[in-house]
Structures are given as structure tokens and as C-alpha cells.
Amino acid sequence: MGSDNAPAALAAAGASLLPSLPSNVQLLAIGTPDFAKCAETLGLSFHPSKETIAMDENPLLALRRKKQASVCVGLRLLKEGRLDAFVSAGNTGALVSASKFILGTLPSILRPALLALMPTKKEPVAVLDVGANLQAKAAHLVQFSRLGAAYQQARGIAHPRIGILNIGSEASKGTSELRLAYKALSGEPGFAGNIEGKSVFDGEVDVLVTDGFTGNVFLKTAEGIASLVLDRLQAHPSLQDTRARLSDLQRHLHYAEHPGALLCGVAGAVVKCHGYSTPQAFANGIRGAVEFAVSGFPALLSEKLSQQSLKKKGR
């Protein structure tokens, strides 16, 4: 509920996944009563909510007034253990604030961050924050770096390299908060310094740290450029014999192929899809959430953070 697309279209995308998901996975649609028949016709379980938070609503005001909104209902079910993961394409601010309030944050984390994996010439880079916190202090950026490192360690990268997205590589570049974050991270293992936007896709870092405003602009700009390049290549008549390669490139670059952004740092698996997500993109968000839940990723992430804290105390 609350996305730019009709709930029925997103529900149909979820239903289309059912045959390919593990047999013990069930999908629960959460929405207003008028959506119940549609969900059940598609073979989805349904849980009612009384209200919806729209994209243009103030998140905090909406959460105070609409405690039975679909996002709140879903997160409470997750908190109670009746869900293993929650996916939304609705109001980002409402999802982040409700997740922090209802689920709580992991130990040593003050603010959760939206984490998105982006392709590079080498391994994918974890970029955070891509929209949960429009502004971030140096202390928050340091925490984002630890979340990103724990995430990559959970994916099998033993010693993640960490960079700060900045306008230059020198330590003196950027805002005062970025300079303070640079100073704080200078003694951290794996810190690679500042990274310019043009260098991110070289794959020299595994974690890219930034505030939510800059990260969101960076993510959507990269998606737009990728879409432009793909459209131009596919329209070129002399490239008909390269369709297979283009399809592979599209899987890596097109936002519809991404499994959404993980709300990293809260006590539960929460995946945020773009508000304008196509049904295909939303389906991939669900698939990503299933993978997080099946692998026990939230617990693994918490374990990696705890290990980081123990190492710091042992210094």
C-alpha cells in the first residue's frame, strides 16, 4: 500500500514468484479490506490494515495519526515473530521511523541506514545510506561504515575495504561532517579514504559511506545513466548479435533487477523498494527478502557487529 503503483499489480508480481520460492515460504499481503479479495484471488494470504500512508504525507505525523496503517501492522507482525521479513514500496520516512520505533535498532547503532548493493568492475559495493537519513553526523557515518562492513563480512568478504563518498580524495575535502568522519575512520581496519563518484565503479572499496540525501541522488543517477546506456545499445541495429551480453548487463545495471534496499541496523529483515518500482522490481524485492530470511541474515549481521565491538574493546 502507498506506492506509486496499484496494489493489485504488486500483489500479482508477488504471486507470480510463488512457484519458484521454497515450498515452506508463504507470502502475506497486508492492506485495506477493499484489497482482500484481490489478494486471495491471487493465492496470497491476507492480513487487514485500516489505513494507508501516502507518499506525500509527513512520516512522523502520519505515524502518530495512523497507528493501524499497513506499514505499522506489518512491522508489528515482524516484531511478534509472525513474519520473517517485511517488504514495502511505500513512504520511506514512515518505514524507517516505524521500523526504528517498533523493531528497535541493533546494539551500538543509533540510526538504521538503507543499504543497496551496486555493481562494480569487481565485487558489488554496499552503499549506505541511500535514503533513510537525509542528513548524517560523523558519528552516524562511522556507524554506517560498521554496518556496511558487517554486511559484507556476512556475505563472505573477510576484510571489507571502506570508503567515504566525497568530492575529492584528500582528507581535507568535503563538509565538516565528512572531514570528521574521515578522521574517526582513519584508524579503522580497511579504511581506504575518500572515494570520488567516478571511481566507485572501479571496485576498489566494498563499502561506500554517505548520507541519505547524497546516497539517494547517487543511486538514482547511476540507475538513470544505466537505463540510458542500455536503451541506446538495444536500439542500435548493428548490435542484434549482442543481445545475450546486453541481457546480462541489464541484470547488473537496471534497477528493476535489484532486490531492493535492506534497512540495515534494525532488529529484523526489512526491505525497501522504490516507490516507483515496477511489479518486476517489487518481485525482486520480495525475492531478496526471502533470501535474507532463509539465510538467517539479520542474526548473522548482529553477530558480525558484536564481533566488531569485541575487537574494539580488546585494542
pTM of the model: 0.88
Cα 118 to chain centroid, rounded: 11
Res. 226: pLDDT tops 90: no
> What are the residues whose beta carbons fall under 8 Å from the beta carbon of 238, sequence distance 6 or more?
none
**Res. 306 pLDDT band, cuts 50 70 90:** confident
| pLDDT score, position 255 | 45
Tell me what the pLDDT averaged over the chain comes to.
88
Class of domain 116-257: alpha beta
Confidence category of residue 130, pLDDT binned at 50, 70, 90:
very high
Instruction: Please give the average per-residue pLDDT across 151-173, as a whole number.
Output: 93
Measured distance CA(274)–CA(281) in Å, rounded: 8
Checking if the pLDDT of 131 tops 60, the result is yes
Q: How far from the centroid of its chain's Cα atoms is residue 76's Cα?
A: 20
The residue-averaged pLDDT of 185-198 equals 92
Round to whole Å and give the CA distance between 111 and 135: 11
In CATH, 1-109+265-315 is 3.40.718.10? yes
User: How far is it, in rounded angstroms, from Cα 138 to Cα 180?
Assistant: 6
**What pLDDT, on the 0 to 100 scale, is given for residue 200?**
92
- Give the C-alpha separation, 100 to 55, whole Å: 19
Nearest to 204 by CA among 117, 118, 120: 120
Per-residue pLDDT of 18-59, as tens digits, reads: 999 988 999 999 999 999 999 989 989 999 999 999 999 999
- pLDDT at site 242: 60
Q: Say how far apart CA 2 and CA 91 lie, in whole Å.
A: 7
Q: Is pLDDT larger for residue 170 or for residue 241?
A: 170
Helices (DSSP H) in the chain: which residue ranges? 7-17, 36-41, 59-65, 70-79, 92-102, 138-154, 176-185, 212-235, 243-253, 279-294, 297-313
Percent of the chain's residues with pLDDT above 70: 90
pLDDT of residue 250: 56
What are the structural domain ranges in the chain? 1-109+265-315, 116-257
Closest CA to 150 of 261, 264, 259, 258: 264
Residue in the block written with cell 484481490: 38
3-state secondary structure of 135: coil
Over residues 246-256, the pLDDT tens digits come to 555 555 554 44
pLDDT at 128: 93
Residue 244 φ then ψ, to 5°:
-65, -45
What is the Cα–Cα distance from 83 to 78, expressed in whole angstroms? 5
Nine cell digits for residue 136: 548524517
Enclosing H/E stretch for 45: strand 45-48
In the structure, what pLDDT confidence band is assigned to residue 258 with cuts at 50, 70 and 90?
Answer: low
Do residues 11 and 38 touch, judged by C-beta distance below 8 A?
Answer: yes
Q: Is the dihedral of CA 105, 290, 47, 278 positive or negative?
A: positive
Check pLDDT > 90 for residue 210: yes
pLDDT at 268: 92
Tens-digit pLDDT profile for residues 260-291:
899 999 999 999 998 888 888 899 999 989 98
Count the Cβ atoms, other than its own, within 10 Å of residue 58: 13
The average pLDDT across 94-99 equals: 95
Are 140 and 110 in contact by the 8 Å Cβ rule? The answer is yes
For position 155, what pLDDT does the model report?
86
Say whether 116-257 and 1-109+265-315 share the same fold.
yes
Q: Please report which confidence band the pLDDT of residue 168 belongs to, taking 50, 70 and 90 as the band edges.
A: very high
Does position 186 have pLDDT exceeding 90, yes or no?
yes
Amino acid identity at 93: G
